[in-house]
């Protein structure tokens, strides 16, 4: 099950070193601003090479995109392929910015 979380929950997970943040947007989107410490693996790269994500599956995987839709869809794909502990940043980076969290 892909679990939706809000920005404050993600911030707590980061503080406790519990997760890996995977940004599933395209490179140009990531370069325009992203969550510090996140790893860029676009949705299309995940679909074409699931091993690029599986290597991080020893931690909670938090997927992010602009609005939360691509990341949720990507999370469902990962779940269907046996990867567990998947979280989706609800409302994506829009929600992150609304909560006054900085992008770099």
Q: pLDDT for 63-86, tens place per residue? A: 999 999 999 999 999 999 999 999
Residue 104 domain-assigned (yes or no): no
CA 46 remoteness from chain centre = 12
Residue 28: partners with Cβ closer than 8 Å, 6 or more residues away: none
The boundaries of the domain holding residue 64 are 3-98
Residue of 29, 28, 76 lying closest to 50 (CA atoms):
76
**Predicted local confidence at residue 96, as pLDDT:** 79
**Predicted local confidence at residue 79, as pLDDT:** 97
CATH of the domain at 13: 3.40.250.10
Residue 8 domain-assigned (yes or no): yes
Q: Give residue-wise pLDDT tens across range 6-53.
A: 999 999 999 999 999 999 999 999 999 999 999 999 999 999 999 999
> For the chain, how many structural domains are there in total?
1
pLDDT band at 2 (very low <50, low <70, confident <90, very high): very high
């Amino acid at each position: 099950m892909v679990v939706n979380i809000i920005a404050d929950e993600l911030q707590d997970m980061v503080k406790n070193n519990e997760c890996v943040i995977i940004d599933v947007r395209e490179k140009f989107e990531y370069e325009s601003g992203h969550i510090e410490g996140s790893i860029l693996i676009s949705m299309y790269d995940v679909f074409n090479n699931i091993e690029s994500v599986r290597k991080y599956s020893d931690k909670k995987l938090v997927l992010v995109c602009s609005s939360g839709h691509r990341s949720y869809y990507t999370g469902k794909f990962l779940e269907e392929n046996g990867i567990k502990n998947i979280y989706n940043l609800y409302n994506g980076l829009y929600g992150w910015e609304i909560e006054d969290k900085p992008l770099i």
